[in-house]
Amino acid sequence: MAKAAKTAIKTKDQKAAADAKNWSKVIRTVRSAKTGAYTFKEAIVHKDKIKEFLAS
């Protein structure tokens, strides 16, 4: 599941502020083969690459 950036970035550089909205924090659950416990992998991913991150 991806979480979109909700807060506006306060900067004088409007291009950087617009580009920051294209990134999302993605959290994926991974089950350990050794113990069977779940762990979480977090990453900041560009919105075009989210499906690739979740598929890997």
Please write the tens of the pLDDT for every residue from 36-53: 999 999 999 999 999 998
What confidence tens digit (pLDDT) does each residue in 5-35 have?
555 555 567 777 777 888 999 999 999 989 9
Instruction: Tell me the whole-structure pTM to 2 decimals.
Output: 0.58
Instruction: List, in order, residues 6 or more apart from 22 with CB less than 8 Å away.
Output: 46, 47, 48
